[in-house]
């Protein structure tokens, strides 16, 4: 294992800045907000901040407060992770997993509070937060791999760090990977999810509430998942456009952060600082990982999708933090229970897809409550 310090990548940052400065606007439909994709006025505001006021070296310095490693795994990509051990003797090993278009930055408001809570009665955790393979400072596999394969890598990562048993938290890809861990890893002691990833083979609705959720899910699939189909089928074609266009990457990611957050119907800007979004975009750009990050979608397609194998069920105790505006919002508990051993469920009062950024206090409180309930 090699201690790791995030580099500024000054030459890459300078190239990005030049490309952003040279970007030229183009027409958008009259009356367009976000319904056709990224909004021009918002992107021009983001660009203005990017060129005048955003401090990338300060972001890097802030992330480098956290202890980080690069961990080689035999026959597999070397993984980058935050590894923050708690000073508490009773701390629980916790793997906390980001998704797309996220990064370890999603949990920036949680790391120290997870490891060293102010309340001595709250659970404490040894926190492991990996970068997905092909994302940021983790190496890319030689060819696309899917979330089940990543689950195996994460399980090996925890073993390499010396943890025989551990708790898991995840949303987006993290929820899918967590589901596979629940099926495949004997070391997992609990699964806390803030997104509905793997689902039971039988998702036929049996109640009015389940039918309503299925109608909603079909609408979301028709209106919000074009990116998924593209990234799962032809990611390399997308890469040719994006790897040469920082503003293209920024628009592709910003549209998700604006559209999938809980903005109470206004969809103007995500409920966190503009600099946080710019920092996320710069993580993808300075590591030149936008293209390899999309490979996970292709890998999922090759693995066979999001379905729990016929006749299987995730029996690991599962906690659900159901945020109301999540793109992967949970169906009714009755439907979730077909695929998971649900022992904890919280319907959140607000929040969307990016829980760690939007509502870190709610996510933290629920994870602590789940861990305490497990004993």
Q: Answer yes or no: CATH 3.40.50.1820 is held by domain 2-22+34-374.
A: yes
Q: Which of 11, 23, 27 is nearest to 249 (CA)?
A: 23
Domain boundaries of the chain, sorted by first residue: 2-22+34-374
In this predicted model, what pLDDT tens digit does every residue of 220-270 receive, in sequence order? 999 999 999 999 999 999 999 999 999 999 999 999 999 999 987 666 788
**For 73-127, what is each residue's pLDDT tens digit?**
999 999 999 999 999 999 999 999 999 999 999 999 999 999 999 999 999 999 9
pLDDT in tens, 165-214: 999 999 999 999 999 999 999 999 999 999 999 999 999 999 999 999 99
Q: Is there a contact between 96 and 45 (Cβ–Cβ < 8 Å)?
A: no
In contact, 206 and 334? CB cutoff 8 Å: yes
Could you tell me if 256 and 224 are in contact, meaning their C-beta atoms sit under 8 angstroms apart? no
Q: Enter the pTM of the model.
A: 0.96
Q: How far apart are CA 128 and CA 125, in angstroms?
A: 9
Q: Is the pLDDT of residue 140 over 80?
A: yes
User: What's residue 328's pLDDT?
Assistant: 86
CA-wise closest residue to 258 among 49, 101, 363: 101
């Amino acid at each position: 294992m090699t201690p790791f310090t995030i580099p500024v990548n000054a030459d890459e940052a300078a190239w990005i800045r030049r490309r952003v400065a040279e970007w030229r606007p183009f027409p958008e439909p009259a009356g367009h907000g976000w319904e056709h994709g990224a909004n021009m006025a918002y992107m021009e505001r983001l660009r203005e901040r990017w060129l005048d006021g955003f401090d990338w070296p300060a972001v890097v310095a802030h992330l480098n407060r956290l202890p980080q490693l690069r961990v080689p795994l035999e026959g597999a990509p070397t993984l980058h992770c935050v590894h923050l051990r708690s000073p508490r003797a009773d701390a629980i090993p916790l793997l906390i997993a980001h998704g797309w278009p996220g990064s370890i930055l999603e949990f920036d408001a949680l790391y120290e509070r997870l490891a060293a809570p102010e309340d001595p009665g709250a659970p404490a955790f040894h926190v492991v937060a990996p970068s997905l393979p092909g994302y940021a400072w983790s190496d890319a596999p030689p060819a696309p791999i899917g979330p089940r394969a990543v689950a195996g890598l994460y399980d090996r990562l925890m073993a390499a760090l010396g943890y025989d048993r551990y708790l898991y938290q995840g949303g987006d890809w993290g929820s899918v990977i967590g589901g596979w861990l629940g099926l495949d890893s004997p070391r997992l002691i609990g699964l806390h999810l803030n997104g509905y990833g793997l689902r039971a083979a039988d998702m036929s609705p049996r109640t009015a509430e389940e039918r309503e959720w299925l109608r909603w899910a079909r609408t979301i699939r028709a209106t919000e998942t074009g990116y998924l189909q593209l990234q799962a089928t032809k990611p390399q074609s997308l890469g040719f456009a994006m790897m040469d266009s920082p503003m293209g990457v920024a628009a592709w990611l910003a549209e998700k952060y604006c559209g999938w957050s809980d903005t109470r119907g206004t969809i103007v800007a995500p409920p966190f600082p503009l600099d946080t979004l710019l920092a996320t975009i710069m993580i993808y750009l300075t590591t030149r990982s936008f293209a390899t990050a999309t490979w996970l979608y292709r890998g999922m397609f090759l693995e066979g999708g999001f379905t729990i194998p016929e006749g299987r069920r995730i029996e690991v105790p599962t906690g659900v933090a159901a945020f109301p505006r999540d793109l992967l919002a949970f169906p009714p508990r009755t439907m979730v229970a077909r695929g998971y051993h649900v022992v904890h469920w919280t319907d959140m009062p607000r929040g969307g897809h990016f829980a760690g950024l939007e509502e870190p206090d709610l996510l933290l409180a629920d994870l602590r409550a789940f861990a305490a309930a497990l004993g």
